[in-house]
Chain A
Amino acid sequence: MAATKKEKEEDPRRFLHPKTIARISRLDFRARQVVEGYISGMHRSPFFGHSVEFVQHREYVPGDDIRHLDWKVWSKTDRFFIKQFEEETNLRCTLVVDVSESMHYGTGALNKYNYACTAAACLAYLLIKQQDAVGCITFDSTVRNVVPARSQQNHIDAIVKVLDISRPREKTDIEMILRRVTESVSGRGLVVLFSDLLADREPMFRGLEMLCHRRHDLLVFHVMDDDELTFPFVGSTRFEGMEQLPHLLCDPRSLRDGYIEALEEYLIEVRRGCTHMGIDYHLTRTGDYLDAVLSKFLRHRMASRSSTRAANRV
């Protein structure tokens, strides 16, 4: 028992549980803890030096990491060149985070908004750590904040700051937002959407389709609260709709089956729609460990890199 408790205390994954994460109030620290914990909990990431393929050299400019100097080339040419690996290619990731009012709901340690922000911050931290460019767009009925993609180390602060200040208040107009995202994100890149997708389906699909049409790589994290998925309410309850939806006084137990049925229809529709558009879709509960988010993201990255290499060979 004592060993188990000690193991638990030393388990780096302890920072991945939402309850634990929730205790870290600063988002940047939270993201660091999650990522460090995630990394230290795994064997060394294949991202860092093993399975990452050498792509090309680039002349050394002051500030580059000298660990990547190709000494063989210097011995031959007496000039300094930096090896560029695959991830060092120009990955531009845009984190699109829904900060509408509906994201404020949550009964667990982290509500949907906090969870989405934490996940987005973790991804940003991870990407920046890999010297990828990460930008962030927060939105509700309009685009609230935009952080252009940068790869500087200190860019994480800007992203975290934007996530911090974007308090949910308005309803979502996702089609318009995604159109804006499409317009604002130049070039092909990765767009990671954190949202509860509680919006009209058709406009949402149109928006996502626009992004797909621009050949962006889309990853959708459908963030939903456990209660929204299980509907565990009992007793007479007055459900006050967010985002200007009507209220309903009912016995939740009598509507539970119908709610679940409607929710399942919605989730299936969303999943199918995403699958049809080739969008990587993940339903994420606010009660899930955050390493799941990171794992999903990394798997997506690996899958997309493989497909890119295969395409380049051709």
Chain B
Amino acid sequence: MSSLSTLFLNPWFMAAGGVLVLAPIIIHLINRMRYKRVRWAAMEFLLKAQKRNRRRLIIEQLILLALRCFLVLLAGFLVARFVGNVMGLENLGGNVGTEYVVILDDKMSMHDRWKEAGESTNSFDVGKQRVQEIALKASQATPAPKFQVFRLSDMSTPLFNDRLNDQSLSQLKARLKDQEQATLRHLKPTQAIKTAREMLAKSLEGRKAIVYVSDLRETDWNGTDKALDQELDDLMAKKVNVYLVDTAHPFRRDIQGGAPPHHDNLAILDLRPETRVVSSEGQPIEFSATIANYGPSEKKNVFLEVYVDGQLRFEASQPISSIPPEGLTHKFLLGFQQEGYAQVTSKLIADEQTGIEEDNVRHTMVHVVKNIKVLVIDGNYPDHMKPSGDTVPLETALNSSKGYVVDKFGPDRLETPNLDEYPSIYLLNVPRFKSEKGLKNLEDYVAKGGRVAIFMGDKVEPNFYNKSLYNDGKGLLPVPIESKPTPKLSDNERMDRLKGDQFLLFVRDYNHQVFAGLNGCQDALRFLLIDQYFRALPRSKWVNKPGEGVIRELATLPSRGQLADFARSAQDLAKRLPTDEAADFKYRKYIPGLKKHRQAIQSACLPGNQLYQLANAFNTLLTDTGDSKNAADRPNLVDFWNLAEPEIRQLRTDVEQFRDAIQYGDPLVLTKRFGNGRVVLFLTSAGRSWNDWSGGSMAQFTYPMVVGDLQKYLTATGDDVSETLPASEGTSDQPARAPRSLTDDQSHMIGDSLEVRRDLTRYDAKLHRYYSPGLPGASRPGKAKTPPKEGGQGAPARDEDEGEQQATISGKELVFSFADARKPGMYRLKLFPRAGSGDQPPVPEELAFVYNVDSAAESNLRRASRDHLEKEPGADNPNHGKVFLVASDSNLDMFRQRQADMSESPWIYLLFLVLLVVEQALAVHLSFHLKGGGQQPALAPQAASQTTTAAA
């Protein structure tokens, strides 16, 4: 019967029809049983007739019987509405039913809420409603379609998988009702659509369709995702229709083109401390909250609440007067007294009637310790504590910040494990590592998220550094170095440099954390003389170039080129400045200033001047803000350089590049991303052996500032603040990122998975897990973690006990996998070391991780335009599927696909008519019907005529 139901819209009629096909045969047999008896005299003729026509009669009667049976069968096909897809009959009727794969988007943006008739609703609720409406419409199709419903976050477990009928519709409704809310994950549609395509490829149904019920945000549907486009093209080529059902508010109208309006939304994109390890005795640390305003106008009257372990910290909670559309970074200070992992939560309080509420909360954490351990590896060890060495000034600078404990060792310390106990490591004038093991330990440490600062010195062995630490760009060292340091400056050289009005060190980015503290006291760098340093090999020999995202130049020494080498080029460049009143009329208001700077440049090119003076002239040209009170004579040239004209933009680029070329010389401070960690390389010494930074110069006050900032950078979280945040690439079936190591405390996104590995012999194979929501009253009641903390008010955060977790064994390691983070907050893991040889019972080891929503990917509620959503097949593929956009007021009758069947084809009726005519003709031929209106034909005249006898 199931096969009949796939071939016929009314299968039971065909079952009856199949029986009725036998009717002509049965009637024939009954007729043969029911007969009249006639005693017949002229039997001779009857027998002769029967003998002559026996074969023909049998054939003709069989043909007639077959025709009648076929007519009954054909009538049965018509009544039963044949839709079979058999050998070309596809075009006579329709295909069998439709199979729908419905994907209900449940990513974080579906939490976009609004009020409707006083009731709060969101895109996910609308999505559930739309699924039901579509199912109801589709259930009216014949035959009943197959319907599978999945959540985008879980394409392996269908919420519903059945043919649609009244009973299954009720089940669908109940299951959708159970889906209370969307997830807090960032999910992309590509993988889910691919999975749906693979499901439909196995389907036997004639028509297939994918229904994607979503808020269709621009971040997902902006036309730049080539993989998504390819999936849609593949589906269209396979004649699968894709229906994109928009659930976002304000509801899209069917006639609406472009992108419909979207809700404004505030979101905290990032919250990070300046350092992840904090001393309980140290100074308060600064937190940066990056707030985005996804709206056209500034948002006012916004308040930022700050909680530490669920307790509101008034000193950090502040109003934010205005958040412009481009967003802002809000900073606040927090101090910590209690040791352990402290969860810091910021929450935006704004009068938001719409948008996503969940992205107004952001978590981070700091590890509060009594003293922050710093590992210093000094190449002069054990003679490292000489005042003229490198360790003493460094330690002094660190101690000025309080809370640091400096462990000082020689290079051998790198050979031993457990570098992880140090948030940061300094290598000071280390000649080489003892063995490969030490190098591997250090590389592993950095790769897992650790940070290392390397300072040079006279003991440094360049060959080792180039071969092992640089390793053709694959090692820790950002750049290769020359085989020997620069020669020490002579006294005259020192004097010449000091008395010149030039910067002796250029900070390339004052926003970088390492040198952020120098912002405002740049002039001190005119006195920071670097006597000796290791010169990096020419940039052309670097494997990784700045700007590629791997290494960055943080500070550069001035160029030591000769003015004569650049004078001609400078003058040529200066001549390109638009100074002709007639020819450069549109720039006339800038001409006075440009003329002056041109003259200045030409003056700087005169023999006897220094290259830095020329560089200064170009710097001044680029940064001259003029005099607003005397704009005619001193226009603001910054505006000039910001003009959009292509020739000005090109000129600016050329001027800046020339300026850089004549201003910047050898790099001094570089940083490199290595795995999850960072390496900061100072190509000079930490102490006074190669420079007077730590003492003996007017710039020495900057040394502890830089060291303090350096230390904070080395213990900071995430990427460098000045870099853009990495986009998350979450999918429904695969984690957004690769599993991370223990020491990487960057903010994880909901849905990420983690692995914790421990030595099998040293730890129990179980751990205990706790969850802390970070906000008071935000979680289920659970066991209280600790008594309320000092300096805070409100109900303490309550850790939720998530129970024990067993490890799996991989080689000699215990592996704890954690992929269950579905709520933002902090997750603590308590590991249990095995009892050692000592008397002291082992202390449980605690780890913590913070999970946040992926606001950067989900908080922008801008919606995709119709052009990016709908797709039509090409003119040469008219039969391909389409991508339809189903707006809120779209007619859903498209889902009530009434299957065309054979009875709708005119050819069938023509065939029926022809067969009827043939049957009637054959019946007449076989004399089943009387000819000539029912008159029986008379006997042939010659046989019945009178005759006269011939004359005898």
Contact = CB atoms under 8 A, between A and B. Distances in A.
B15 interface: no
A19 B951 CA distance: 36
Contacts of A266: 44-45
A268 B47 contact: no
A5 B41 CA distance: 38
B951 to A, nearest CB: 6
Given A228-B41, A242-B40, A245-B47, 10 more contacts: A242-B39, A248-B43, A248-B50, A249-B32, A256-B49, A256-B927, A257-B53, A260-B939, A262-B52, A280-B948
B49 A245 contact: no
B40 A254 contact: no
B843 interface: no
B86 interface: no
A249 B40 CA distance: 12
A230 B938 CA distance: 6
Nearest to B42: A228
B943 A307 contact: no
A7 B407 CA distance: 155
Most buried by A among B57, B936, B937, B948: B948
Interface string A13-54: 000000000000000000000000000000000000000000
B812 interface: no
Interface of B: 31-32, 34-50, 52-53, 57, 61, 926-928, 936-940, 942-952
B41 A112 contact: yes
A238 to B, nearest CB: 5
Contacts of A275: 947, 949-950
Contacts, number: 157
B40 A268 contact: no
Interface string A98-112: 000111110000001
A259 interface: yes
18 contacts: A228-B42, A229-B939, A236-B32, A237-B36, A248-B47, A249-B35, A250-B46, A254-B928, A255-B46, A255-B49, A257-B49, A258-B49, A262-B48, A262-B49, A263-B42, A264-B940, A275-B947, A280-B948
Nearest to A242: B41
Given A233-B38, A236-B36, A254-B57, A246 B946 contact: no
B949 A281 contact: yes
A235 interface: yes
Contact of A259 (B49, B936, B944): B49
Nearest to B49: A258
Given A232-B936, A235-B35, A254-B61, A271 B41 contact: no
Contacts of B927: 253-254, 256-257
A240 interface: yes
B49 A105 contact: no
A57 interface: no
A246 B35 contact: no
A91 interface: no
A283 B944 contact: yes
Contacts of B928: 253-254
A267 B947 CA distance: 12
A232 B950 CA distance: 34
A283 B940 CA distance: 13
Interface residues of A, number: 57
Given A253-B927, A278-B949, A240 B944 contact: no
A111 B40 CA distance: 12
Interface in A264-291: 264, 266-268, 271, 274-275, 278-283
A262 B943 contact: no
A268 B45 CA distance: 13
Contacts of B943: 263-264, 267-268, 271, 283
Contacts of A103: 41
Interface in A184-227: 196, 198, 224-225
A300 interface: yes
A47 B285 CA distance: 160
Contacts of A262: 44-46, 48-49, 52
Contact of A236 (B35, B44, B952): B35
Given A198-B44, A235-B36, A255 B53 contact: yes
A246 B53 contact: no
B38 A238 contact: yes
A236 B946 contact: no
Contacts of B34: 236
Contact of A240 (B40, B44, B45, B952): B40
A259 B950 contact: no
Contacts of A238: 35-38
A183 interface: no
A181 to B, nearest CB: 19
A236 B31 contact: yes
A108 B924 CA distance: 28
Contacts of A281: 947, 949
A241 interface: yes
A245 B47 CA distance: 10
Nearest to B52: A258
A254 B44 contact: no
Interface in A95-144: 101-105, 112
A303 interface: yes
A303 B949 CA distance: 9
A242 B938 contact: no
B120 to A, nearest CB: 82
A253 B60 CA distance: 13
A245 B38 CA distance: 13
A300 B34 CA distance: 49
B627 to A, nearest CB: 122
A296 interface: yes
B43 A242 contact: yes
Contact of B939 (A112, A254, A264): A264
Contacts of A282: 946-947
A253 B36 CA distance: 14
A74 interface: no
B692 to A, nearest CB: 130
Q: In the A-B complex, list the 3 residue pairs whose CB atoms are closest, starting with the nearest.
A: A258-B49, A241-B43, A102-B41
A266 B43 CA distance: 12
A261 interface: yes
B46 A239 contact: yes
A198 B42 contact: yes
A104 B52 CA distance: 28
B45 A279 contact: no
Contacts of B939: 229-230, 260, 263-264, 267
B773 to A, nearest CB: 92
A287 to B, nearest CB: 12
B951 A307 contact: yes
A194 B46 CA distance: 23
A221 to B, nearest CB: 12
A200 to B, nearest CB: 9
B50 A237 contact: no
A228 B38 CA distance: 12
A237 B35 contact: yes
A261 B952 CA distance: 31
A303 B603 CA distance: 164
A260 B47 CA distance: 12
B710 to A, nearest CB: 114
Contacts of A268: 942-943
Contact of A241 (B35, B40, B942, B951): B40
A84 to B, nearest CB: 24
A196 B45 CA distance: 13
A242 B46 CA distance: 12
A303 B948 CA distance: 10
A237 B50 CA distance: 13
Given A263-B943, A278-B952, A240 B42 contact: no
A232 B53 CA distance: 18
A250 B949 contact: no
Contacts of B41: 101-105, 112, 196, 198, 225, 228, 242-243
Nearest to B50: A255
Contacts of B46: 239, 248, 250, 255, 259, 262
